[in-house]
Structure 1
């Protein structure tokens, strides 16, 4: 099988080299993302492997023309691909799973950082201000944590949080018996109303786009803490900023933001970034913004590479 890998990163080299040999695939590599100009790397390839680059109708048509029959994204999320049109023209699409501990551990870290005002403390310490004023935190055991989405990552977050003694409530269309041992399923409205901390672990779909919006923020406790390690567009950023400014949202820790595609994973030192909302969010002392790195562990990267290759092989064998 011939595979074209786009957006190839240096940290993936070890794993691609290992699994290319293990699964006997012919791999073409480019560090460039897939575009109309770079699509040529995929000529006569059965499959391409990408990350989070937008794949629209025009690019799909080009890939189809070059012989691509399957797109594997080395991510859990797949909202960057026009899946409906891909299927319409006969191109399959697959995402990957990877170690849920990567994002789950990072999520707990962000909850603790928000609760204990870590951003305040770290920034003040740079100026050698070691006073206690304004940095008193909260303990998780005295809080209710609401988990939206109880898939592999959400369930692992719940398992990790259970050791802190917090009351855990959860919402998901598909309730799991294993989750019920540690958390109580409630309605979405109840979760918004009762949670001191809300953490999101659901894919981005048309139904939950801007799930955190003006109407739902109004249902929340004043001072609620919001954690997002899922997808930026789950939050209506303009409304979110208003809620931080008026104190309805007490703190937030975000690993993802809206319109992050051309920002995260690039170096913009000394360069203005064309994302005004990011600048505003970063300016708040009670908001921590991370550059979409919750997934980024050695195990997760290995899993992403291996499972992307395996999904391409499986699709290729189906179409023989």
Structure 2
């Protein structure tokens, strides 16, 4: 089990050692060539790249599980070339990511970031907190259009919660011509960008969505909009984002994920209209426990299956989705 160097998903000695079922597990953040060559199966957590360099050393490996929903850091061609069965964990932490996303939406809705900083600097006047339009009053949730880009499990969970608050929820997802849960209005990509006061992203990172929010598409956003991202950092081009914030095209960016994290550009980290959380949206006691247990169970099941099981029976689940881990 290759744990993340960024954050330890596994507690000390949580799985390490010989288990009752005869399975011996070694846990490491920095696998040695000997450990990789020894393993019949591998569980790789977030930020562990599954590429040719790793697989070349895993001479015995018959199955690999990525303990994430996203598979953007997995070389599928290399896995196929070596005949290694692969699976990811599917949707984990859907409710948690939806709650975190809505918390960021409400932070922007109520200008909490501005209020926090204003009072920290000794102020006590709410009229001074909107630097873009001094004295302009807040809009209620009922007057606010919430755009949801990507309407998989998390996008739908966000929309359900937002509808309770009274948001006018509009979404875009090519997979849905109409809203499957009746709480949002389906729109074109361009319409969602143009109408959303707050836009929340729930997309996988693919060659198509990489830097989807570049200079061109950020310019399509409603002036003064807020951008929320709890999906993948690579959806947003950081330089274009900073330019849009500096010009006032964007009022705020509230990000749980950043490209090349944890190497966060200092200009982004220090920006007065940026709030960052450390890729934590999926996290809860329940989701973390589910993630680890499901990853290990999936791997052991794959290793126990007869050789007649085809690769197609073990391939990424829920790639259309947007889950966070």
Shorter-normalised TM range: 0.7 to 0.9
Match among 46, 52, 57 for residue 57 of structure 1: 52
Deviation at 1:27, TM superposition (A): 4.4
Q: Does 1:86 align with 2:71?
A: no
Gaps of 5+ in 2: 131-136, 308-325
- How far, CA to CA, are the matches of 1:158 and 1:191 in structure 2? 14
- How far, CA to CA, are the matches of 1:100 and 1:146 in structure 2? 18
Contact 2:156 2:181 (C-alpha < 8 Å) held by counterparts: no
Contact 1:6 1:29 (C-alpha < 8 Å) held by counterparts: no
278-287 or 222-231, which moves further after superposition? 278-287
- How far, CA to CA, are the matches of 1:208 and 1:232 in structure 2? 11
Residues 163, 213 of structure 1: alpha-carbon distance in 2 compared, 3 angstrom cutoff? same
- How far, CA to CA, are the matches of 2:85 and 2:30 in structure 1? 19
Kindly indicate which of the two structures has a greater share of residues assigned to helix: 1
- How far, CA to CA, are the matches of 2:275 and 2:53 in structure 1? 37
Superposed, 1:181-220 pairs within 5 Å as 181-220=182-221
Q: Does 1:308 align with 2:302?
A: no
- How far, CA to CA, are the matches of 1:283 and 1:203 in structure 2? 27
**Residue number in structure 2 paired with 1:257:** 258
Q: Does 1:221 align with 2:222?
A: yes
Superposed, 1:287-306 pairs within 5 Å as 287-306=274-293
Say which SS state the counterpart of residue 230 (structure 1) adopts.
coil
**Residue number in structure 1 paired with 2:163:** 162
Instruction: Name the TM-score, length of structure 1 as normaliser.
Output: 0.84
Residues 10, 190 of structure 1: alpha-carbon distance in 2 compared, 3 angstrom cutoff? closer
Spell out, residue by residue over 1:220-259, the C-alpha distance to the aligned partner (whole angstroms, 9 max, x if none).
1101110000000000111111111101111110000111
Gaps of 5+ in 1: 264-273
- How far, CA to CA, are the matches of 1:189 and 1:101 in structure 2? 28
**Residue number in structure 2 paired with 1:105:** 99
**Residue number in structure 1 paired with 2:273:** 286
Residues 257, 305 of structure 1: alpha-carbon distance in 2 compared, 3 angstrom cutoff? same
- How far, CA to CA, are the matches of 1:27 and 1:173 in structure 2? 44
Aligned-residue Cα RMSD (Å) equals 2.6
278-287 or 127-136, which moves further after superposition? 127-136
Deviation at 1:86, TM superposition (A): 1.5
Higher relative contact order (CA 8 A, sep 6+): 2
Match among 61, 64, 67 for residue 71 of structure 1: 64
Spell out, residue by residue over 1:86-141, the C-alpha distance to the aligned partner (whole angstroms, 9 max, x if none).
12221233221213111000000011112222222223333443332215644322
- How far, CA to CA, are the matches of 2:99 and 2:249 in structure 1? 27
Instruction: Name the TM-score, length of structure 2 as normaliser.
Output: 0.83
Residues 7, 215 of structure 1: alpha-carbon distance in 2 compared, 3 angstrom cutoff? closer
- How far, CA to CA, are the matches of 1:149 and 1:200 in structure 2? 7
Q: Does 1:32 align with 2:17?
A: no
**Residue number in structure 1 paired with 2:311:** none
Contact 1:15 1:306 (C-alpha < 8 Å) held by counterparts: no
Contact 2:155 2:202 (C-alpha < 8 Å) held by counterparts: yes
**Residue number in structure 2 paired with 1:115:** 109
- How far, CA to CA, are the matches of 1:15 and 1:294 in structure 2? 25
